[in-house]
Structure 1
């Protein structure tokens, strides 16, 4: 007798909870933070806004280091 396995279920996006909350509450849901990409030390600020109509706006800005202090 063979074993039968169920096919894997559909994978939901990682931000599905935020998207659904924006739609259900009829208010934008905002996520903000700072991240670095694997293998990099350059930080990026990100902002993701999930809109009640189902749209998602994403913004990513590189955080450049401040200019060198001339008094040093």
Structure 2
């Protein structure tokens, strides 16, 4: 007799809440922040705009790091 496994629950995209708020509220939802990707030390600013028609615009900009301070 074989075992029957239940298939895993589908995973929703991480931005599902913002997308639904834009559609239900009939106005764009803006998300902004700074992220450092795993294995990196470089910060990036991001802006995501979720539109009521279901489209999404994403922008990612590398933040320039200040030059090192000279020793005192």
| RMSD of Structure 2 on Structure 1 (CA) | 1.9
Give the 3-state SS of the residue equivalent to 2:24 in structure 1: helix
Q: Distance in 1 between matches of 2:27 and 2:58?
A: 16
Give the 3-state SS of the residue equivalent to 1:12 in structure 2: coil
Give the corresponding residue for 2:57.
Answer: 57
Structure 1 unaligned regions, length at least 5: none
Residues paired across the two proteins, number: 70
Matches within 5 A, 1:1-72: 2-66=2-66
Post-superposition CA distance 1:10-40 (Å, at most 9, x none): 2211111110110000011111000111111
User: Which TM-score applies when normalising by structure 1?
Assistant: 0.83
Q: Distance in 2 between matches of 1:14 and 1:67?
A: 35
Give the 3-state SS of the residue equivalent to 1:38 in structure 2: coil
